[in-house]
Amino acid sequence: MKHRGLFLLQLGFTLLVSAFLIVPVILSILAGLTVNYFVGLESGLTLRWVIEVWTGYRETIFLSIGLSLACLAVTLVLGVPTAYVLAKRQTALTRAIEELLVMPVAVPGLATALALIVTYGSVSGFRTSWAFILVGHVLFTLPFMVRSVLAVLSAIDLQTLEEGAASLGAGFWSRFRDIVLPNCRAGILAGSLMVVTLSMGEFNMTWLLHTPFTKTLPVGLADAYASLRLEIGSAYTLVFFLMIMPLLLGLQAFAKPRPVKFVAEETE
């Protein structure tokens, strides 16, 4: 009976924690749909705020979508080959490379953004284009793609599979195309969802990297929180939720989200 009590105690605690995380989400969704949040729900429900956000801020939404897809493309091109090499060779050098790649996640985004600005800020065409933000996003999301693909590649006996393909006459690129890529599909999928989700929400760097013409969704959110009424901030947040919801559901369905780890690990 003592165990039953302990169970209920833990369940209650966990429910409280869930409430702490979910209640503000619900509140903000309601606020975005309420005519006047200060008055409360009695004031009635409306889509007015959502429409206002859409007309005023849809550019930021499109930019964020485009940016996250571009970021995905770049991290795929850079990250999958890197993960393959790291899986293939486990030497002190490849471990150092892996550590180094994680640095942009460990180092505060503000520092990375400042470093980029002091180095490339004077390249005017670059500074004012969305490619400038893209660079920051790629730095920040690349380790997630690499780790995700690497985890899958380390779990299979890549070496022997490749030797098997080679014994059947497959050269390097055939092996990469027919054996390596298909077998890390799960990792690529999980990594892709993670990269798009993170790029969509990145703020720490983007706030410094953006220009008035390259405002992303989170930048717009910060603007709205700072200067507009609560209902509009909430409606904007609601739009953000709607956009990342499919990504999060995808992450939960296809793969356990894989936070990047900074501490050495033996097994995956």
Partner 1 sequence: MTDIGKPLAIALQGCAKTFADGTRALEPLDLAIHAGETIVFLGPSGCGKTTTLRIIAGLEEPDAGGKVLFDGVDVTHLPIEQRNVGMVFQSYALFPNMTVAGNIGYGLKIRKTPDGQIRARVAEMLAMMQITKLADRRIDQLSGGQRQRVALARAIAVRPRALLLDEPLTALDAKLRDTLRLEIDSLLRSLGITAIYVTHDQAEAMALGDRIVVMEHGRVAQIGKPREIYQRPATRFVAEFIGTMNRLTGTTQNGVFSCRAGDLAWNEAPGHATEILFRPEDIRIAESDEASGLHGKVAAAFFLGDRTRLFVEVGEARPLVVESTARREFNHGDAVRLSIDPRGLLVL
Partner 2 sequence: MRRDVQRLIFLLLPAGIFFAAFFLLPMARLFFIGGSGKTGWAAYAAILIDSHYLSSLISTLGVAAATTVATLIISGISGVFLQRHKFPGNAALVAMLTFPLAFPGVVIGFMVIMLAGRQGLIGQVTQALTGDKLVFAYTLSGLFMGYVYFSIPRTILTVMAAAEKLDPKLEEAARSLGASPWRVVLDVIIPGLKPAFISAGAICFATAVGAFGTAFTLAAKINVLPMVIYTEFTLSANIAMAAALSFVLGAVTWIVLALARTAAGSTVAAAG
List residues binding partner 1 (CB under 8 A): 156-157, 160-161, 163-171, 174, 178-179, 182-183, 185
Q: Which is nearer to partner 2, 165 or 198 (CB)?
A: 198
CB 127, min distance to partner 2, A: 13
CB 189, min distance to partner 1, A: 14
160 binding partner (options partner 2, partner 1, none; Cβ < 5 to 8 Å by kind) = partner 1
Q: Which two tokens stand for residue 241?
A: 């939720």
CB 176, min distance to partner 1, A: 13
Residues across the chain:
268
Closest CA to 148 of 197, 189, 114: 189
Q: Cβ neighbours of residue 235 under 8 Å, at least 6 residues apart? A: 31, 32, 33, 49, 50, 52, 53
182 binding partner (options partner 2, partner 1, none; Cβ < 5 to 8 Å by kind) = partner 1
Direct distance between the N- and C-terminal alpha carbons of the chain, in angstroms, rounded to an integer: 38
CB 251, min distance to partner 1, A: 22
25 binding partner (options partner 2, partner 1, none; Cβ < 5 to 8 Å by kind) = partner 2
Number of H helices, E strands in the chain: 13, 0
Dihedral of the CA atoms 76, 82, 83, 86 (nearest 10)? 180
Q: Which is nearer to partner 2, 9 or 51 (CB)?
A: 9
Q: Which is nearer to partner 1, 36 or 183 (CB)?
A: 183
CB 188, min distance to partner 2, A: 15
DSSP string, 104-137: HHHS-HHHHHHHHHHHHTT-HHHHTSHHHHHHHH
CA distance 231 to 229: 6
Q: Which is nearer to partner 2, 17 or 45 (CB)?
A: 17
107 binding partner (options partner 2, partner 1, none; Cβ < 5 to 8 Å by kind) = partner 2
168 binding partner (options partner 1, partner 2, none; Cβ < 5 to 8 Å by kind) = partner 1
Cβ distance 142 to 101 under 8 Å?
yes
Cβ distance 140 to 205 under 8 Å?
yes
Q: Which is nearer to partner 1, 99 or 157 (CB)?
A: 157
CB 198, min distance to partner 2, A: 6
